[in-house]
Chain A
Amino acid sequence: KAGVTQTPRYLIKTRGQQVTLSCSPISGHRSVSWYQQTPGQGLQFLFEYFSETQRNKGNFPGRFSGRQFSNSRSEMNVSTLELGDSALYLCASSLGGQFNSYEQYFGPGTRLTVT
């Protein structure tokens, strides 16, 4: 079974620009979660989508948004990039509570650098 894929793997953007990251979950998984990981803050939850609906949201500004498509693929968008947005962005897929399963499987991540 193929794992979670994320594209692109690396990005360099300039402050003020916007960026879109993509995630394809494991086949059959309807939940996709996004996380930001930095050395100082650890793993921080951004939001979760389940069956095309945002089901959970973390404490991030509105510049961070996402969506999920009918095939469960998800995109995350960050507008008006700031230097502090430089981080590893991780996508995780899961059954999302179906069959009482909450295990999350992470993709390789997208390393975003804002200059």
Chain B
Amino acid sequence: QKEVEQNSGPLSVPEGAIASLNCTYSDRGSQSFFWYRQYSGKSPELIMSIYSNGDKEDGRFTAQLNKASQYVSLLIRDSQPSDSATYLCAVNVGGSYIPTFGRGTSLIVHP
């Protein structure tokens, strides 16, 4: 079982809709969770970090963490074509200083 798993997509949503991106992880002891956005040909950009169970909101982005079920999700409200990118989930597995990255989910927001 891979340590951090994401559906590769693509996930296609219409403009204005809510995009829901999901990530599961294998290590129950993981404490730090991150979402990165990567545009084609660019480097990953940190958009959210979450450490406690529940929801964390930042503008149009909401990260949701459920440690009991070992998943973390990212909701993007009022999706825009400019949100079209690959979203990477990263988890500090096993107390490591270094996050383990998932393969990413490609999101396409069409007008």
Residue A90 is within 8 A (CB to CB) of chain B in the complex = yes
Stretch of A61-69, A71-79, A100-108 that contacts chain B = A100-108
Whether the pair A43, B32 counts as a contact (CB closer than 8 A) is no
B44: which A residues are within 8 A, CB to CB?
43, 90, 106
Number of B interface residues, CB 8 Å? 20
| A96 within 8 Å of B (CB atoms) | yes
Total number of residue pairs linking A and B with CB closer than 8 Å: 45
Distance to closest chain B CB from A49 (angstroms)? 11
Beyond A102-B32, A108-B43, whether A43 also contacts B101 by CB under 8 A is yes
Of A102, A107, A108, A109, which one neighbours B99 at CB under 8 angstroms?
Answer: A102
18 contacts across the A-B interface (CB closer than 8 A): A33-B98, A42-B104, A43-B104, A45-B98, A45-B100, A48-B97, A48-B98, A55-B97, A88-B43, A102-B97, A103-B34, A104-B34, A104-B90, A106-B45, A107-B43, A108-B43, A109-B42, A109-B43
